């Protein structure tokens, strides 16, 4: 047997002779070299250096002392003042490395006797022998064929039929191997927390032309897409299968076995450039949810831009309010069983789009029910934290300190379970803001580093910065949020309305406030009322003031006290309050207890 497989006593140990047996250092290093020479790692310099470093450190007995700072400096060349807490580089690269290892053992390394793993929450690798049910022997795909009975007659036809039969057997064997490969991918990717999220199988983009130079383009586009998708609330499953036409029945069955969505695409030569095509398919039905084509020149200076553009567009269709979100929302509403975390996530984003009390109650009930069954999921508590802050903030804090206390508790619990949970860090931004802690500005930047494609953090962070006087940075974040979503949502317009109001550009403030279109959101109606009053549109101002009274009957007596909790800068406060009074709202100075109900 070649050096890529174990034999003798090692194989016996692996298949049940001694479950406590561990591979030797030599066997681990040999497995490391096989991994680094594989297709999965050939063009992954960072991941290869990362894996070699942590394997050698673990073998040297220093694995448990490995920290993000050490890896950032030693592997990625960060300076001595590198801050691993605020810079998410090492955490992001660790996630990519784990994904590549899953991909390797689901494909090229399926029959390797030694397994190297990077557990979540640690930078020390673990190594072991594969269990009997993990080990997959190489499959023999050649089948014996019967010889022709009459070689003297029709020799060419017989030869042709035999060749066709061989080809047919090869195709069937290939299809079956893809089905097995999809099953192995799913098994290898099984993780009780990650599989809570919608699962998307990323099929490597195919080069459909005879130009071998496009192989590298297809591989790099696939890699960039994987990087972008890995930042979202998805379980991203890498596949080595080649399913260019996943509408075919057998290929769809394989895709459905591995995940609910399939992303596939192709690259082919088009004139002096190339056409890159991507498509998203619902595996269960075969419905094409999205497709796009890009005709691009492939010069050396343009290629990185093209890759990033395609990957960014793919990430947008998987982000909130894209095709996957709409599909998930529809599925969650059809479900008659107990809600799952992914159902809560879908209803959460729909609530933020609708901004009404009914959607809030639906989402809150979903998270609370899941928290009873799965209290160890950080995403449950971070979702609850965001909702409790909304309860405190959506009507300018009328829920009093109890809602903010609940938000503090849920945020702390989520961060204790996972300090890098995106939504928990965003909840912390908002809790710190309402607590008057200036650290919220640093936490905004940390949250953005955790998920550079997280439009929600850009939007909410931008809004808080604008109303506290930093319009330049706030509007920059708002623009990035718009680019990430592909379309301006209500929150984006609200940020601009608040900024224009502060700058006394009242016409622009009114135009943006009208675009928000949030009749059930008190703050949005307040900005609209103030902008309309300052613009001389008293009809709009009166209507908005009337809506505020309907939503929040105590607004006129409690607003000024509640405004103190929002920490508006002086310029914004003055123009905002004078605009509300100009809209006919009789605001009275009546301090509200910060701990009151």
The predicted-structure confidence for 528-555, as pLDDT tens digits, reads as follows 999 999 999 999 999 999 999 998 898 9
- Checking if the pLDDT of 313 tops 60, the result is yes
Residue 180, token pair as written in the block: 């097995």
For 399-417, write each residue's pLDDT tens digit. 667 889 999 999 999 999 9
Mean pLDDT of the chain: 78
User: Which is more confident, 374 or 131?
Assistant: 374
Distance CA 241, CA 39 (A): 13
Confidence class for position 143, pLDDT limits 50, 70, 90: very low
pTM for the full model?
0.61
* pLDDT at residue number 116: 92
Give the count of beta carbons closer than 10 Å to the beta carbon of residue 7: 10
| Cβ(343)–Cβ(366) below 8 Å | yes
Which string of DSSP letters, residue by residue, matches 490-524?
Answer: HHHHHHHHHHHHHTT-HHHHHHHHHHH--TT-HHH
Per-residue burial over 419-431, b if 16 or more Cβ lie within 10 Å, else e, is: ebbbbbbbbbbbb
Measured CA to CA in angstroms, residue 40 lies from 56, 104, 477, 519 at distances of: 20, 6, 35, 51
Residue 449, token pair as written in the block: 């580093």
* Class (C level, CATH) for 453-597: mainly alpha
Which residues partner with 127 through β-bridges?
116
Per-residue burial over 43-62, b if 16 or more Cβ lie within 10 Å, else e, is: ebeebbbbbbbbbbbbbeee
* Class (C level, CATH) for 179-318: alpha beta
Q: In terms of DSSP H, where are the helices of 504-586?
A: 506-516, 522-534, 538-551, 555-566, 570-582
Phi, psi of 593 (to 5 degrees): -60, 135
179-318 and 453-597: identical CATH topology: no
Residue 32, token pair as written in the block: 């490391």
Domain range summary for the chain, segments of one domain joined by +: 9-129, 179-318, 453-597
For 118-132, write each residue's pLDDT tens digit. 887 778 899 999 876
Per-residue burial over 559-588, b if 16 or more Cβ lie within 10 Å, else e, is: bbbbbebbbbeeebbebbbebbbbbbbebe
To the nearest 10 degrees (0 to 180), the angle between helices 357-373 and 378-393 is: 150
Instruction: Tell me the longest C-alpha to C-alpha distance in the chain.
Output: 108
Question: Measuring CA to CA, which residue among 165, 105, 160 is closest to residue 136?
Answer: 105
* pLDDT at residue number 200: 84
Phi, psi of 224 (to 5 degrees): -65, -35
- Checking if the pLDDT of 153 tops 50, the result is no
* pLDDT at residue number 140: 31
User: Which is more confident, 475 or 248?
Assistant: 475
């Amino acid at each position: 047997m070649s050096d890529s497989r174990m034999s003798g006593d090692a194989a016996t140990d692996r298949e049940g002779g001694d479950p406590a047996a561990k591979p030797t250092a030599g066997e681990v290093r040999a497995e490391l070299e096989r991994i680094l020479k594989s297709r999965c790692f050939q063009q992954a310099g960072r991941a290869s250096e990362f894996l070699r470093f942590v394997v050698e450190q673990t073998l040297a007995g220093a694995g448990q002392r490995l920290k993000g700072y050490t890896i950032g400096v030693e592997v990625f060349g960060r300076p001595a003042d590198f801050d691993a807490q605020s810079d998410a580089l090492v955490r992001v690269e660790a996630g990519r490395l784990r994904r590549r290892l899953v991909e390797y053992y689901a494909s090229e390394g399926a029959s390797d006797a030694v397994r190297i793993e990077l557990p979540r929450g640690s930078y020390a690798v673990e190594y072991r022998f594969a269990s009997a049910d993990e080990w997959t022997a190489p499959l023999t795909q050649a089948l014996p064929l019967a010889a022709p009975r009459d070689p003297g007659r029709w020799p060419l036809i017989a030869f042709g039929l035999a060749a066709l039969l061989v080809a047919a057997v090869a195709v069937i064997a290939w299809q079956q191997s893809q089905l097995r490969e999809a099953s192995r991918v799913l098994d290898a990717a099984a993780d009780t927390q990650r599989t809570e999220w919608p699962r998307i199988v990323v099929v490597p983009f195919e080069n459909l032309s005879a130009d071998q130079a496009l192989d590298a383009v297809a591989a790099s586009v696939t890699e960039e897409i994987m990087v972008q998708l890995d930042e979202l609330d998805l379980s991203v499953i890498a596949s080595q299968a080649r399913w260019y036409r996943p509408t075919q029945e057998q290929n769809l069955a394989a895709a459905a076995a591995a995940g609910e969505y399939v992303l596939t695409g192709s690259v082919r030569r088009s004139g002096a450039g190339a056409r890159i095509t991507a498509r998203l398919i619902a595996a269960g039905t075969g419905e094409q949810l999205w497709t796009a084509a890009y005709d691009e020149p492939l010069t050396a200076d343009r290629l990185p831009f093209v890759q990033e553009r395609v990957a960014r567009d793919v990430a947008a269709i998987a982000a909130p309010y894209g095709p996957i979100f709409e599909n998930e929302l529809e599925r969650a509403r059809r479900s008659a069983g107990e809600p799952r975390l992914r159902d809560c996530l879908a209803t959460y984003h729909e609530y933020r789009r609708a901004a009404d009390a009914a959607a809030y109650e639906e989402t809150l009930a979903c998270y609370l029910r899941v928290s009873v069954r799965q209290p160890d999921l950080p995403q449950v508590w971070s979702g609850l934290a965001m909702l409790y802050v909304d309860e405190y903030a959506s009507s300018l804090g009328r829920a009093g300190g109890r809602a903010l206390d609940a938000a503090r508790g849920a945020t702390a619990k989520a961060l204790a379970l996972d300090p890098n949970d995106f939504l928990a860090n965003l909840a912390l931004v908002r809790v710190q803001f309402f607590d008057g802690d200036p650290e919220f500005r640093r936490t905004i930047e940390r949250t953005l580093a955790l998920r550079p494609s997280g439009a929600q953090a850009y939007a909410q962070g931008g809004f808080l910065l604008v109303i506290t006087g930093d319009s330049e940075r706030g509007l920059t974040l708002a623009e990035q949020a718009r680019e990430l979503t592909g379309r301006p949502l209500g929150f984006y317009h609200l940020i601009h309305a608040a900024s224009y109001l502060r700058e006394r550009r009242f016409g622009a403030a009114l135009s943006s406030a009208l675009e928000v279109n949030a009749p059930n959101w008190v703050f949005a109606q307040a900005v609209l009322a103030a902008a309309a009053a300052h613009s001389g549109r008293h009809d709009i101002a009166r209507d908005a003031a009337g809506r505020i009274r309907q939503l929040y009957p105590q607004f006129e007596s409690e607003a000024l006290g509640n405004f103190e909790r929002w920490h508006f800068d002086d310029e914004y406060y003055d123009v905002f309050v004078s605009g509300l009074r100009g809209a006919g709202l009789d605001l009275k100075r009546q301090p509200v207890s910060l701990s009151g109900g």
